[in-house]
């Protein structure tokens, strides 16, 4: 009987799932980080197209900000990731962070040198890795994200619950959030 119990314990130990790695696979890290680096470079490049003193309107938003959101969605759709731009001081309520992201946002706010990090998480019932990267306010961003009373009329009209103002260059504006489900680890990385 003791032999049978020992054999069962050995069997159960052998069947135990492998421990999760402490960091995501290198190929996944490189792919996600490069994609978000390119997305942020796109954001910075488009922001540079706003001329000093330019009157910004909805057409400016469509030229400068909307393509970044569209590219984020495309990255998610084409890779099986969930890509979002999150902010505590959000303009669009859909960009409000979940509780984990809000807690991590506080870490980014407390440590200006923290550019990015990876964490294990669960999203909609799926386990996976989450990558978060800082979005920093650029001087050109202030035409829409500067003083509350200086916001363009289309923002005041289209975003009545807007909180995304009173920033300064270099402030933490938000976070890129990329969730990569574990199911992709077996097929993609």
Measure the CA–CA gap between 178 and 135, rounded to whole angstroms: 13
Q: What pLDDT sits at residue 20?
A: 54
Find where tokens 């069997």 sit.
Answer: 11
C-beta of residue 183 within 8 angstroms of C-beta of residue 126:
yes
Q: How many CB atoms lie within 10 A of CB 2?
A: 6
Question: Does the model's pTM come out above 0.75?
Answer: yes
Measure the CA–CA gap between 95 and 76, rounded to whole angstroms: 15
Measure the CA–CA gap between 10 and 30, rounded to whole angstroms: 38
In tens, the pLDDT along 157-166 reads 999 999 999 9
Written as six digits, the tokens of 55 are 């009157």
In tens, the pLDDT along 42-53 reads 999 999 999 988
Q: Domains for the chain: give ranges and CATH numbers.
A: 24-136+172-187 (3.30.450)
Q: What pLDDT sits at residue 27?
A: 94
In tens, the pLDDT along 83-116 reads 999 999 999 999 999 999 999 999 999 999 999 9
Cβ neighbourhood burial of 22 (10 Å; 0-12, 13-18, 19+): exposed
In 3D space, the residue among 134, 19, 24 whose CA is nearest the CA of residue 81 turns out to be 24
In tens, the pLDDT along 63-82 reads 999 999 999 999 999 999 99
The beta-strand segments (E) located in 40-81 are none
Mean pLDDT throughout 104-130?
A: 96
Cβ-defined contacts of 97-103 (< 8 Å, 24+)? 97/175, 97/177, 100/130, 101/132, 101/175, 101/177
Buried b (16+ CB within 10 A) or exposed e, 43-67: beebbeebeeeeebeeebeeebbee
6-15, 46-55, 83-92, 172-181: range with lowest mean pLDDT: 6-15
């Amino acid at each position: 009987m003791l032999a049978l119990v020992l054999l069962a314990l050995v069997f159960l130990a052998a069947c135990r799932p492998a421990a999760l790695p402490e960091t995501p696979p290198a190929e996944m890290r490189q792919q996600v980080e490069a994609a978000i680096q390119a997305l942020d470079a796109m954001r910075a490049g488009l922001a540079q197209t706003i001329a000093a003193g330019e009157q910004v309107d909805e057409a400016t938003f469509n030229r400068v900000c909307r393509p970044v959101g569209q590219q984020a969605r495309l990255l998610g759709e084409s890779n099986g990731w969930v890509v979002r731009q999150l902010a505590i001081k959000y303009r669009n309520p859909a960009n409000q962070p979940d509780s984990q992201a809000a807690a991590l946002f506080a870490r980014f706010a407390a440590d200006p040198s923290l550019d990015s990090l990876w964490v294990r998480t669960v999203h909609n019932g799926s386990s996976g890795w989450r990558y978060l990267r800082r979005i920093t306010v650029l001087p050109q961003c202030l035409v829409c994200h500067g003083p509350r009373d200086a916001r363009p009329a289309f923002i005041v009209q289209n975003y009545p619950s807007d909180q995304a103002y009173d920033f300064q260059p270099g402030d933490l504006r938000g976070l890129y959030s990329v969730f990569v489900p574990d199911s992709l680890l077996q097929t993609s990385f």
